[in-house]
Chain A
Amino acid sequence: MTTMIDLPPGAPVPPGDHAALRVEDLSLSYIVRGIARPVLRGVTFEIKPGESYGLVGESGCGKSTTAYAAVRYLARNARITGGRIFIDGSDMTTMSEDRLREFRMRHASMVYQDPGAALNPTTKVGPQVIEAFAVLGESRPVAEAHALEALERVQIADPRRVMQRYPHQLSGGMQQRIVIAMALASDPKLLVLDEPTTGLDATVEASVLDLVRSLQGETNAAILLIAHNLGVIRSVCDRVGVMYAGKIVEEGDAAAVFDKPQHPYTLALLRSLPRHGIRKSQRALATIPGSLPPVGATLPACVFVDRCPLATEICRTIDPPPVDLGDGRTSKCHHIDRLPELTEAPARAGAEHAEQGGAALELSGLSKTFHQGGHSVPALVGIDLTIHDGETLGLVGESGSGKSTLARTILGIERPDAGGGLELDSHQLAGRSTDRPTEDKRSIQMVFQNPESALNRGWTARRILARSVRKLTGLRGKAIDKRVDELAANLRLSQQHLDLKPRQLSGGLKQRLAIARAFAGDPRIVVADEPTSALDVSVQAAILNVLSDLQVENKTSYLLISHDLGVVRYLADRIAVMYLGRIMEVGDSEVVFRGPNHPYTEALLSAIPKVDGEPGARIRLGGEIPSPANPPSGCVFHTRCHRFMKGICEVTEPPLIEVEPGHQMRCHIPVEELRRLQAEARRSDEVLTTPPEALEAAEATAENDPA
């Protein structure tokens, strides 16, 4: 990638045996009502200058706590109970407050998950960036000059103007660049990145990760990256540590760990991911039996023993020492030699997905316009889409693309504009769910993203299910109980679970309960909006298995919304790609993943950081996602398109046409031409970006923006 940075490349690695960060046998507890609850149980690792190290693991494993402990920014109730932390040879655990401040100022920096919150909302960006330099003792003009340079360095095109803005006036990607610029002000020895791209759109995430990679080469800072997304870790990190219950169980070269895990937990974690383009018809995802230990639980010698299929008596009595596997690879397991016993789940027999059935739901010319303060905001524009019997239609696209609005309109939460067709089994549905007969309500149900929010916390699981059964099926008395039991059995919820309230259930059980509720009335169509994005990877696998089992049994159709293309690829039979309220491409899942694609789909696919490390064309979209209130002229994607054709794309909007049987696309470029261009792009190393004339067109549009 050619960067626009004109600073000299980073200084050579300084001599000496100092690791940039060395954590030695770190133990840490949170004090909850006077009781110490251990979260870190002896974490040891080190990062050399210029090296990037990733920590992975499921929620509660202690990866974030480790990161914050590294710069000694701890919660008020956290106590370091043992071990030491060295940054560049200085022990952080014993430092005085004053030295700690000095140290953070000069040697350690941090970037966090939500860049919007990391900037002071009531101060302009300029002073905040300048402050990062002024605190180092620079005079005001020098600090200002450095601030400008720093913003240029993180590829902000017009730093002077950006400095005059308040944080909320900038996009998430821009905010994160600013936070990164401030973090690099002191040329730190250690840069901690805590989920730096979580919550950003895929295309924005890709460019922020590019930036991190390119800065890494220049600064010689050691990078500690925390991310739940293994693809992000693989695409950035040299080395990786896998954490479980406050311990690093396996460590080594990132590619090696992900390709050939040497610890039962790592192996199970990776197998629970939908990887290598695997689909539901081929194989069920592997799950990890048992549950993550709660924070502060008392654990036996090996922390993973309760869920490990290889565990023997020794695992309960002797803490497994790190086994050196060469090349900096270690694994804390007594039974590494027995790992080959863990075989993958057998391929599914005879579950090849059913022949495409008739149309269950048909959308024709469906539009939805919101009205806000005198402006019309078209959220959906002329959607033509069919969901067939028993199939899963995956819906992908970035924020503002209208995915959720489309789901809400189908459900009748939003009333579509007049004139559009919304037909279930060939009869028109009323716009609002309140106007639909029970039969229609029963037929279309929803699984929400966050089960915490979707389940009434005051109700027991049984009451939640029983009420839905009563309302949707018209059953009464004993018949309700029977149906509730049936649903619970289908979702593998025990009778005991039914007596609990949601907060007493784990995240996975809550989502099962929510799914059971959606199936109460034996629906024709279930809309699932990011059904697993609030869950840990190992729990996600179980939910995806359940969803695909239910579909086979009940012939239900799914509309699946997800930003995780691995999940979509696993579950979806067909995929629709949305951008600014329009369908840009629809086709069979395999066809869409294979290509040729609409340029937007192509960019989206290339933006996803892949845990398998597969190479692919690198496309980096410029500009920002336009506001739906003021969509660009012509093809709405032309302002960011890397295959922009001046004179056509910004003038006329291409229609959604069938380019191959069952494959529709909305692009001026003929499909054969796309096929050729995309094959070419995959072969070359070149990074494709949005051409300047497209960005100019975007600027012109932005200036007309009424906002």
Chain B
Amino acid sequence: MVRYLLRRLLLGLITLWLLATIVFAITNILPTDVGRTILGPFAPPETVAALNEKLGTNRPLPVRYVESMIGLVTLNFGDSFVSGSPVLPQVLGAVGRSAKLAGLALLITIPLSIAAGLYAARRRDRLADRAIVLAGVTLSSIPEFVTGTILVVVVGVQLDLLPVLATAPEKADLVTQIRYLLLPAVAMAIVYFGYIARMTRAGAIEVLQSDYIRTATMKGLTTSQTMRRHVLRNALVPTVAVIAVQIGYLFGGIIAVEKIFNYNGMGATMLYAAQRKDLPMLTAGVIVIGLVYMLATLAADLIIAWMNPRIRLETER
């Protein structure tokens, strides 16, 4: 297991390095002139040159590349073009606030979607199954901001049940905070419900068709005993992988949701940075979320290895 973990970590580091390189390429190679990109086509050349000088973007590419890689290792992502202060604390703060929203969304969607997926698998091809599958396809294909919009119109405005802005007043208690976050969290949860439910269903159907479930049935186990002892663990392996991947996407979709619900998290920070062409801030945002994605998949791999002795024991060698 330790060797497996180490190998997995090493691969993760390589991926992180490649990811940082891709981001470097986007911000440094694509624009021929960073200063011009920031200031726009109408700024006088001297101002552009001065900015490039100030940002260090007039130096040769290899120098900038090495510098940015050193920055990655020392966790120094540079200073914001806008505020002049280091970007990392701001990004981390924003990610923290978004994590609350994302966490609530996952908390809502994971149990519901797994339950729905397992139920659908047991009722395969019956009405309930078809309904769950259709709902899954439908819901997971609608962008978060569309779901969010519809929720705001129906639940927030027409029914007036929940606040349509996500930010709770200062010093609100936990319940109030959750009340405020509920609508945006549901908007996100709906999208992920479809993915997770479908994957769980597929996993469970495969397991239900397996010979060892036949063994369990022939032993005379009840359906609930069979589900608990033999189906669950095996069926959830692909689900765990999907959830991990979704955590990465969650932070992509969150930008639009935060915009709709006017929540000051990752999305707001990134959009603000985009409007001001604050490249270091955007870069740090991409890398931090890439890191979150990688940690999530790492955690998933470890959970899967724990769930499946075959993977666990083989890597022990």
Contact = CB atoms under 8 A, between A and B. Distances in A.
A168 B310 contact: yes
Contact of B234 (A102, A109, A120): A120
A123 B217 contact: no
Interface string A155-172: 000000000001011000
A593 interface: no
B211 A123 contact: no
Contact of B229 (A73, A131, A186): A131
Contact of A104 (B124, B125, B218, B230): B218
B217 A182 contact: no
Contact of A117 (B212, B221, B229, B309): B212
B212 A121 contact: yes
A487 interface: no
A260 to B, nearest CB: 37
A118 B214 contact: yes
B214 A105 contact: no
Interface in B165-222: 210-212, 214-222
Interface in A477-532: none
A707 B219 contact: no
A131 B219 contact: yes
A182 B220 contact: no
A373 interface: yes
B11 interface: no
Given A76-B125, A373-B317, A121 B217 contact: no
A119 interface: yes
Contact of B212 (A110, A120, A707): A120
Interface string B222-238: 10010001100110000
Counting chain B CB atoms within 10 Å of each CB, which of A119, A121, A136, A183 scores highest? Answer: A121
Counting chain B CB atoms within 10 Å of each CB, which of A108, A120, A121, A123 scores highest? Answer: A120
Contacts of A106: 220
Interface string A105-145: 11011101010011111110000100110011000000000
Contacts of A108: 218
Contacts of A104: 217-220
A432 B200 CA distance: 45
B219 A105 contact: yes
A92 interface: no
Interface of B: 124-125, 210-212, 214-222, 225, 229-230, 233-234, 307-310, 313, 317
A146 to B, nearest CB: 14
Nearest to A192: B218
Contacts of B217: 73, 101, 104
Interface in A39-90: 71, 73, 76
B222 A121 contact: no
A6 to B, nearest CB: 25
A118 B310 contact: no
Contacts of A444: none
A424 interface: no
Counting chain B CB atoms within 10 Å of each CB, which of A103, A122, A166 scores highest? Answer: A122
Contact of A122 (B124, B220, B307, B317): B307
A296 B290 CA distance: 55
B309 A118 contact: no
B214 A112 contact: yes
A314 to B, nearest CB: 43
A121 B310 contact: yes
Contact of A120 (B124, B230, B317): B230
A135 B308 contact: no
B313 A131 contact: no
A102 B222 CA distance: 9
A179 interface: yes
Given A112-B211, A166-B313, A373-B317, A121 B234 contact: yes
A122 B215 contact: no
B302 to A, nearest CB: 15
A135 B313 contact: no
Given A120-B234, A121-B310, A101 B220 contact: yes
A105 B219 CA distance: 5
Contacts of B210: 117
A105 B211 contact: no
A131 B210 CA distance: 18
B234 A132 contact: no
Contacts of B222: 101
Nearest to A707: B317
Nearest to A112: B211
A118 B313 contact: no
A128 B230 CA distance: 10
Given A131-B219, A707-B317, A121 B309 contact: yes
Contacts of A101: 217, 220-222
B211 A114 contact: yes
A150 to B, nearest CB: 13
A128 B215 CA distance: 10
A109 B308 contact: no
Contacts of B219: 104-105, 131-132, 135, 182, 185
A704 B210 CA distance: 36
Given A121-B310, A123-B229, A166-B313, A179 B220 contact: no
Contacts of A186: 220
A522 B309 CA distance: 51
Contacts of A118: 211-212, 214-215
A102 B230 CA distance: 19
B220 A105 contact: yes
A166 B309 contact: yes
A121 B214 contact: no
Given A121-B309, A122-B309, A135 B221 contact: yes
A168 B317 CA distance: 15
Nearest to A108: B218
Nearest to B213: A120
Given A110-B214, A118-B211, 5 more contacts: A105-B220, A110-B218, A119-B215, A122-B308, A168-B309
Contacts of B214: 73, 110, 112, 118
A124 to B, nearest CB: 8
Contacts of A707: 317
Contacts of B216: 120
Contact of B218 (A71, A117, A373): A71
Contacts of A105: 219-220
A109 B218 contact: yes
A373 to B, nearest CB: 7
A122 B210 CA distance: 13
Nearest to A119: B212
Interface string A163-202: 0001011000000000100110110000000000000000
B252 to A, nearest CB: 33
B220 A166 contact: no
Contacts of A128: 215
6 contacts: A101-B217, A101-B221, A109-B218, A114-B211, A120-B229, A186-B220
Contact of A102 (B220, B225, B307): B220
Counting chain A CB atoms within 10 Å of each CB, which of B125, B212, B216 scores highest? Answer: B212
Nearest to B231: A120
B301 to A, nearest CB: 16
